[in-house]
Structure formats: structure tokens, C-alpha cells
Amino acid sequence: MSSAFYDSLMSKFKELAMIGSLEGVLNWDSETTLPYNGVEHRTKQVIFLNDLKQKTWGSKEFGDLLQSNLKDETLNDFEKRNLELINREFLRRQKLPPDLMSKLMGQSKKTNEIWKRAKSKNQFSLVLPDLEKLFDLNNQVAVKLAELYGLDDPYDALISTRDYGFSVSKISSIFEENRKFLVPMVKNMSEKSESLDKSFLVREISKEQKQKLAETTVEFFKYKSKSDEHAVIGEVEHPLTIGCGPKDIRVTVKYEKWEKVLFSASHEVGHGIHGWNRNQEWNGLPVNSYNWPSLGECNSRYTENKIGKSREFWEYYYPTFQEVTKGKFSDIGLDQFYQVINRVEPGISRMKADEVTYGLHIIIRFEIERELFAGKVELKDLPQVWNDKYEQYLGVEVPDDTRGVLQDLHWYNVYWAYFQGYALGDIMGSQLHGHMVSQNPGWADSVRNGDFSPVYNYFVDNIYSVGAMFDPLDLIKNVTGEELTTTHFHNYLSAKYENMF
Amino acid sequence: MSSAFYDSLMSKFKELAMIGSLEGVLNWDSETTLPYNGVEHRTKQVIFLNDLKQKTWGSKEFGDLLQSNLKDETLNDFEKRNLELINREFLRRQKLPPDLMSKLMGQSKKTNEIWKRAKSKNQFSLVLPDLEKLFDLNNQVAVKLAELYGLDDPYDALISTRDYGFSVSKISSIFEENRKFLVPMVKNMSEKSESLDKSFLVREISKEQKQKLAETTVEFFKYKSKSDEHAVIGEVEHPLTIGCGPKDIRVTVKYEKWEKVLFSASHEVGHGIHGWNRNQEWNGLPVNSYNWPSLGECNSRYTENKIGKSREFWEYYYPTFQEVTKGKFSDIGLDQFYQVINRVEPGISRMKADEVTYGLHIIIRFEIERELFAGKVELKDLPQVWNDKYEQYLGVEVPDDTRGVLQDLHWYNVYWAYFQGYALGDIMGSQLHGHMVSQNPGWADSVRNGDFSPVYNYFVDNIYSVGAMFDPLDLIKNVTGEELTTTHFHNYLSAKYENMF
């Protein structure tokens, strides 16, 4: 039974969520539009909103309200969950000194800018001093969180904060199972992929055609936020999805090679449908405000790969693809096309990696992070460690830092302990896919006919609308009836690739 | 001598200015990007920021700080001016009940939406009931302001709030002088314009070419906020300029007929250079936060007309125009082109009006507003009154409400008592132009050579960087040494049109 205390606390939290949505608009604008002369003031705007949030989180009134609520035994499960989510964040913020957090924020912005330069100049050493400062600040945060959670390993504490319920040891064992499965499969399938005629991949199409490909792809995935008057597929340097309001969640695309445009659009729209299918009655509440890398990337990698690279989807979409590209690929049959977009090709780029090698890219990053936080690797040795692991796990040689250790923005932007989410997401997505198939035996025919509804509705009902009511491992168990397991992921890949080439 | 009290008050005000810049970003986003599904939450975001400002304005702390400062006799003139500007706004807000203001805000948003539909359906009656509600709420505001200022006429109070220092009687007498001058000139020049071969105006060019015209136009006017990576010329339905930060002030364009694109770009960039040439040391202070319709439109109409339609500008820019439009106008000589873009043509559209007829469009609106607030005209009769005045002053017949009383958004968006600014701006701009010419005899040759600097620097030094240090009439007097007079405007038009046709 909701109380006046509870309602007051939730109304305070809704203000925090509102500020979050304003941060979303600033973020969208920074990524898509902000002119150079606006950067300085934009930083001040971001700090202003952050201070505004901190003012609420740090106020005696908020703390007292929270404590009163935590003692209230009349609350129902839904209310208790909202409290639990607030309390987690409250404890985290209480533990972390505001000046440390603003130093971290400032250093993160600075390092991110320098990373861009270092990447364009192919010089890791340029960003190293700032990366060291950033890592040190972030490590201080991690140490404090480890104290809070009673954990020995600061990296474990970061993982716990990002992907609640996971631990370093659990992820290590999952990834070890994955590595054992993936390495031989990569070897086998990449050999078979070698003989494919992939030459059509480098054919160029116009920007307008790429835009049309992105639009028709996201339309299939029920990207409904688009009105006739307004473009809401943003053009950015690094594709991402940005929430500006409960129903206003915008995907972005970089108009690079057409293959990348297609699959990055289907990746981002996965974040989109997750976002705008949350339960609208819960807007502004904690259950609609929190998310985890694993579950978030589960949705985006699901639409990108399980659907976006499925035979079923391409049986439907290939005529559209041919029409949009106006005969440029008229000599390529669906079979060849399907094989080529699913080729297995050990490479140096995570973003361009296929479904099979992808997990190995993540394992490399996870292991490096684990060793960095354990003090077993130093940041100055990152390029060497990186290149060695690419040689060892994927058998490829990294030609330079731009395409190596500088390729991803995460580490230069405080996204430590984030990468695991992409691979855990693949595993979760496979388990959900298996369950979805058992519930909707007709899904494949629907997709072949251009109807994404059965898949969409399954995810809306079981995942999207559930918000953060459950932590990721609990959610998977609740929905599928099984603990998280790599079995479905491995079975899915085996079945998909069995007769592929 | 600045005091701790003064500094505290200014730091409170800087927060209000910061929130204002966030409103700017929301406004930009709403105009350029916002998808339909985001509209509902956007309204909530706008209300949230508005409440946040109201919380400061209405706080005891802010009121006490202001009162302490007002008693402080040690402050210097600059500090006193900042206080004066805050105090004006404070008194205004104190006088106006918050619930009336939020009703007005809500009704304004609603009426604006319905106006769009009424305009597209050519049915004034559709918007009439909401316009009546809006006018009534705004009239309540005006009555309260009249009490505050000790004025008899509520319309006078609105004018005083918008264009500080002006009164209805002063504007009436200025406009009467203008009318007497303009009516015969319109007759004379429109007869001469009739024989011009204007057929090239309807030639179509591509959207890319229009974009290039807008870009090269604003470049001439030193639109510097543009970096290579980011587009900051927004595409919108109704062009406007939006400030998102002290140096981040964005112009927008609607890609309609090429002539309109050119002159609307040069209009908006006038607002732009005004905005980003404010004194950067005063960022967030009242002297940099307030502006008036008259002075604002003075700058935009100056760049649009005095420069953008000048012979000097076109001697420089015509080759660029020819190049961008790739031969589409190669048969049109500069003389003919210059005459045609300066044709005098009584018409029904304010936005498309030439320099000479423009003032009559404004007089019509001013007189209607004056009579509405005096209760001499009823809103239901607006279409008839409007059409009669167009017949009387411009000799044109208004064919429908879409192109008549529904053409401008102002009245449907609480911009009552705003229109006078456009015509007063023309008059101010002419007086400043006269003075600028006397200070920079070489300005015309510079512009002919593509160098806007002498004109630009004059306005930066005398107007833009001065911010709101002086009210508009004082500023004009300070700069030119003369009281505001229509003489320069009339002389300017006479000289320009003397040998035009």
C-alpha cells in the first residue's frame, strides 16, 4: 500500500529522471549538431544538470525520506523494488566523495577529447598520461565500491555496479566456456569463409541510398517514433541510441560502408524498441530508469544478429535492398549475399566482427581489464598486451594502435567494466531466442513475410515492459525457467552455421 | 564596488540564465528534430525548467537579496544596471500570479497547435475559441501590468514590457509619419516595378543549391559558429534564431523559394551576429540576457535589407550566386536582378514584403492590436478587419484567411505587442546606418569586395557588445547623438529608390 512518504520519494525521483531526460537532449545535440563554439558552454550545462541531481541525492530531505520508506513494511513488491533501486544508487553516491566524482567527470571529458586526437594520429602515447589519471581516479572509485559491497576485488565491485548480480568469477567461467567453444568454431568457419566471393562488399552506393537502407531497416523493426515532418535518425561519428523522453528515443547512424550502415542501424534500433516499450505507467520511476549493459546489449545485438543477419529477415528484405540500391547488386543472389554477411573472419575490429568471433574480442577486453585492476598489467603496456592477445586468440596481427588499443572509446570515457555486457548479451539473447521460438513456432514465417510482430511482442511482454523490476540474471530465469547458460548460444551458432557454407 | 550581496544575487541570476540556455536547446530540438512521439514529454520538460526558474524568482532568499542590493549605494553604474534589469522582471513576476501564467503558457501551446491546423485548413473559426481564451488570459496579464506601471491602457503596458521606453502614443505618432511617407512611395514605386521582367523568380533550383546559397550568405555575414563537422543551419518550418549558449546561436532556414531562402538567411544571421558578439565577460548577467523586439529586429532587418538587398552586396555576391545556381540565371544581368529583388509590390504577405511596403504590414497589425485591447474590435471580426485594412492601406484583396489573418504565428503564440519591433527596427537601423556611413566612408567599397568587417565592427562596438546596458531609445541616442527619428529611414528609402527603376 503506497504511503505519503513513498509518494514523496517517488516524486523526488521523478525530478531526477526528468533531469536525466534533459541530459539526453543535450547528449543528442552534442552528438548530432553542437558547433565547435558551443562546446565550452555545453560542458557548463552538463555540470549544471549534474549538480542539480547531486543536490537532490545529497539532501537531508531525500536521505530521510528514503530511510523512512526503508522501514515501511506495508509496501508491496513493486514499491519495494523501486526503493531497492534507489537505495543502491543512494549508497553508491554516499560512498563516493563528490569532489572525486567531479574530478573523474572532468578527467573523462578531457581524456575522451585527447583519445580522438591520439586515434587520428595513431599515437597511444599521446593519451597515455591522461588515461593513467583517469584509470587512477576510476580505481579509487572502484576501491571505495569494493569496501561498500564487502568485496576484495575493485574490478568485481565495478562489475557489480554495472551488471548487478554478476561477478568477475562468474563472468570468467562463462567466458572460458565461450572461448573453448568459439576458438575451434572460428578456425573451422573462417576457413570455409575464405573461398566466398566477397568482392561486392566494396561496391559503393550513394549516401541517400544508405539513408534509405537505414530507414527501411528500422521501419521493419517497428521504429515508430518517426513522423513525416521530422528526421530522427541522427548522423553521428559513433552510432549510439539516445533517450530524450519515454517515447522519444533516437537511433543514430554513421554513413560509412553500406554493410556497416545496415547492421549498425539494426543494432541501435534494438536499443530503441527496448526503450520505448517500457511500461508507460512507470515513467520516471526507478524501475524504468535503470538498465544494465548485459540486458541493454542483449536487445541490440539480438536485433542486429539474431534477426538482422537471419536468413528469414533477408528473404523478406532482400528485394527492398535491391530496390534501394538500384541494381548495384542485381548479380548477387540471396544465397551468396546471406553467406557473405555471415562470413566468419578473424579480424582486428570489434565493431566489424561477425557473430562467432565477436565473443573473443570481448574476452580480450575483459581479461585486460581484470589484469589492469589487479595490478598485473600496466597501462603503458596496453598496446603490447592488446596486440599479443589478438595474435593469441584470433591469430591476427594488429598493424597500429588506431586499429588496436585505440579503436574503442570505452576506456577513454570511463566505460570500464562495460564490455562484458556485449558478450553476456549475446548469451542472454540466445537463451531468450530459444524460449521465444518455443512460444512462437511461426516466428520465422512471420519474419519472412516482413512481420516482426511475434518476436517484437515476445520481447515487449517479457523484457521491455518489465523494465528493471528484476536484475538481469533473475529476469532470464523468470522468463525462460532456466539459469543463465551458454548452451543456447552455442546451439544457436552451431545450428546457424551447420549448413551455412 | 561589488559586494558579497551583489555577487550572490548575480550568481543566482546566472543559474536562471543557464536554465534559459537549456530552454534554448529544447527549443532548437523542438523546431528541428523532435519526433511526434516526443511532444508530450517535451511539454513536461519545458514546464519543469519553467518551474525551476519560478522557484528562484519566487524564493524569499532571492527577494531579500534583491532588496538588500537595491539599498546599496556603493554599486557602480554597471552593477546598478544589472540590478535594474532584475528588478523590472522581479516586479513583473511578483505582480503576475503563477497560476495565471501557467494557464497562459498552456493555452498558448494549445492555441499554437490549433492555429497550425486552422491555417492548413483555411478556417479561422477553428482557432477562434482558443484565441479568445488566449487573448483573455493575456489581457488579464496586461491589466495587471498596467496597474504595476500606473498606465491606463493595458496595451501600453504590454508595449512597455516588450520595448522598454516606448509607449503606444509614441509608436502611433512614429507610425503615422511612416504611413504618410510610405503610402505615396508604395504607389509610385509599385507602378514603376510593374514593368520589370520578374519571370526568373519562379525558376527552380535544387535543395542542395538552396543550402549552398544559405551557407555562402551567412558566411559573408561572418557566421563563425560553423565547424567542418557540424551543420548548424537548421531546417525548420518557420525560420528563427535560437540561442543555446553565449557563442552557440543557431540560425535556421526553410528551403522554400530561392529568393526567400536568401533573404531569410540574411535576416536570421543578423540575429546571430547580434547574439554571439555580446560581451563574453558578461555571460549570464542581466545585461547579456535581456533584449527588445525593436533592437532585435533592427539587427536582423538591417542585414536582410540594408546589406542583403544593397547594390554593394550584390556586386560582390552575384558571381557566387551564379556559380551556386550553375547557369540557371546566366541570362539575367546584375542590374535586372538588383531591380527585381528590390521591386515594390503591395501584397498580402508580411514575410515576403519589400522594404517599402513592409512598414504598412506592421501598421495594420499594430492598429488592430491597439483596437482589440481597447475593446473596439472583437476577435471574431478579425478576418474582416484584417481584410479591410489590407484593402485600405495596400490596395490588395486578401483571398483567404490562410494568407490573411492566419499568416503570422504571433497572435496564436502570445506574441502580442511584438510586431511594432520590426518597423521600429527598420527606423533604428536606418539611423544607425546613417551614423555608420559617416564613421566608415569606405564601407561600400569594402562590401563590394566581400568584406563585411567595417559594418560588422561598427555594430559590434556600438550595439552588439553593449548588450542591454541601455534601453533601446537611450542606446540610439547614445550612439548617434540624436533622438530616434524617422528622417533617416525616409532618406534612406528615397536615396535607394531615386534611380532604382
Average pLDDT over residues B133-148: 98
Which residues of chain A have a CB within 8 Å of the CB of B48? 15, 18, 22
**Cβ contact B159:B417 at 8 Å:** yes
Q: Looking at the predicted complex, does its ipTM rise above 0.90?
A: yes
Pairwise CB contact (< 8 Å): B18 & A45? yes
| H/E segment holding residue B149 | helix B124-149
Domain boundaries, chain B: 1-95, 168-377+392-401+416-498
Q: Please tell me the distance in Å from A49's CA to the nearest CA on chain B.
A: 9
Phi, psi of A374 (to 5 degrees): -85, 0
Determine whether the interchain pair A232/B21 forms a contact, defined as Cβ–Cβ distance below 8 Å. Answer: no
Taking CB atoms and an 8 Å limit, are A225 and B35 in contact across chains? yes
What is the secondary structure of A316-349 as a DSSP string?
HHHHHHHHHTTTTTTT--HHHHHHHHT-----S-
CB contact under 8 A, A33 and B231: yes
Please indicate whether, in this complex, the C-beta atoms of A35 and B246 are within 8 angstroms of each other: no
Per DSSP, the residues of B86-123 read: HHHHHHHHHHS-HHHHHHHHHHHHHHHHHHHHHHHHT-
Q: Is residue B230's pLDDT more than 50? A: no
Sign of CA dihedral B336, B342, B347, B348: positive
Question: CA–CA separation, B55 vs B97, rounded Å?
Answer: 13
The minimum CA-CA distance between B22 and chain A, rounded to whole Å, is 7
pLDDT, tens digit (0-9, with 9 covering 90-100), for B368-389:
999 999 999 999 999 999 999 9
**Sign, Cα dihedral of A412, A414, A420, A426:** negative
B225, A38: Cβ pair inside 8 Å?
yes
Instruction: Tell me, rounded to whole angstroms, the distance of Cα B110 from its chain centroid.
Output: 23
Count of other CB atoms within 10 angstroms of residue B225: 23
Cβ-based interface (< 8 Å): residues of A facing B: 15, 18, 21-22, 25-26, 28-29, 32-38, 40-42, 44-45, 48-49, 224-227, 229-232, 234, 237, 244-248, 250, 276
Rounded (5°) CA angle B478-B484-B486: 145
How far is the C-alpha of B266 from the C-alpha of B275, rounded, in Å?
A: 14
**CA atoms of A111 and A102, how far apart (whole Å):** 14
Look at the block and give the residue holding cell 572509485. Answer: A141
Q: Are A413 and A112 in contact (CB under 8 A)?
A: yes
Least Cα separation, residue B228 to chain A (angstroms): 9
Partner residue facing B245 (CB), from A22, A42, A230: A42
In this prediction, residues B224-229 reach a mean pLDDT of 51
Nearest residue on chain A to B23, alpha-carbon basis: A22
Q: Read off the amino acid at residue A408.
A: D
Which residues are bridge partners to B235 per DSSP? B253
Q: Which of A21, A34, A234 sits opposite B45 (nearest CB)?
A: A21
Contacts of B34 in chain A (CB under 8 A): 230, 248
Q: How far apart are CA B432 and CA A242, in angstroms?
A: 46
Least confident of A113-117, B22-26, B140-144: A113-117
Question: Minimal Cα–Cα distance from A26 to chain B, Å?
Answer: 7
pLDDT band at B228 (very low <50, low <70, confident <90, very high): very low
- Report the distance separating Cα A496 and Cα B353, nearest Å: 66
Three-state secondary-structure class, residue B245: strand
Distant-in-sequence, close-in-space partners of B101: CB < 8 Å, separation ≥ 6: B141
Per-residue pLDDT for B229 more than 80? no
Query: Cβ B29–A34 below 8 Å, yes or no?
Result: no
Residue pointed to by grid coordinates 489573418: B405
Q: Who among A45, A234, A248 is closest to B37 (CB)?
A: A248
pLDDT tens digits, B279-335: 999 999 999 999 999 999 999 999 999 999 999 999 999 999 999 999 999 999 999
Instruction: Tell me the CATH number of domain B168-377+392-401+416-498, given options 3.40.50.620, 1.10.1370.30, 3.40.50.300, 3.40.50.150.
Output: 1.10.1370.30
Count helices and strands in chain A by DSSP H and E runs: 21, 3
Longest CA–CA separation in chain A, Å: 70
pLDDT of residue A36: 83
Is the dihedral angle over the CA atoms B330, B335, B340, B341 positive or is it negative?
A: positive
> What residues of chain B have any CB closer than 8 angstroms to a CB in chain A?
15, 18, 21-22, 25-26, 28-29, 32-38, 40-42, 44-45, 48-49, 224-227, 229-232, 234, 237, 244-248, 250, 276
* Alpha-carbon distances, residue A213 vs A227, A322, B16 (angstroms): 17, 10, 44
Find the residue in A nearest to B280 (Cα). A41
* Residues B205-209: contacts with CB under 8 Å, at least 24 apart: B205/B258, B205/B325, B205/B328, B207/B255, B209/B258, B209/B324, B209/B325, B209/B326
Please give the pLDDT value at position A229. Answer: 42
Q: How far is CA A396 from CA A185, A356, A400, in A?
A: 16, 15, 12
At A248, which helix (H) or strand (E)? strand A248-253
pLDDT at A143: 98
Please count the other Cβ atoms lying within 10 Å of the Cβ belonging to residue B474: 13
Give the angle subtended at the CA of A376 by the CAs of A371 and A380, to the nearest 5°: 90
Asked if B33 and A225 come within 8 Å (Cβ–Cβ), the reply is no
A272 vs B contacts (CB less than 8 Å): none
Rounded-to-integer distance, Cα B3 and Cα A431, Å: 66
Give the DSSP letter of residue B234: E
Q: Does A168-498 carry CATH code 1.10.645.10?
A: no
Q: Which chain B residues have a beta carbon less than 8 Å from that of A113?
A: none
Hey, how many other C-beta atoms are within 10 angstroms of the C-beta on B475? 23
Residue pair A379/A371 in contact (Cβ under 8 Å)? The answer is no
Please give the radius of gyration of chain B, using alpha carbons only, rounded to the nearest integer.
23
Identify the residue among B32, B218, B248 best suited for mutation to test binding to A, counting A beta carbons within 10 A and taking the highest. Answer: B248
Burial of residue A331 (CB within 10 Å: 0-12, 13-18, 19+) is exposed
Give the integer Cα–Cα distance in Å for A232 and B32: 10
Residue with cell 550568481: B11
Report, in angstroms and rounded to the nearest whole number, the Rg of chain A calculated over CA atoms: 23
Task: Walk along chain A (501 residues) in steps of 10 and give the mean pLDDT of each run.
Answer: 86 98 96 88 94 95 96 94 97 94 92 93 97 98 98 97 96 97 96 97 97 94 61 85 92 95 96 94 96 96 98 98 97 98 97 96 98 97 98 96 96 96 98 97 97 97 97 98 98 96 91
Per-residue pLDDT of B239-272, as tens digits, reads: 999 999 998 999 999 999 999 999 999 999 999 9
Q: Which of A466, A86, B445 is nearest to A474 (CA)?
A: A466
HSE on the CB side for B399, CA within 13 Å?
Answer: 3
Number of inter-chain CB pairs under 8 A, A vs B: 119
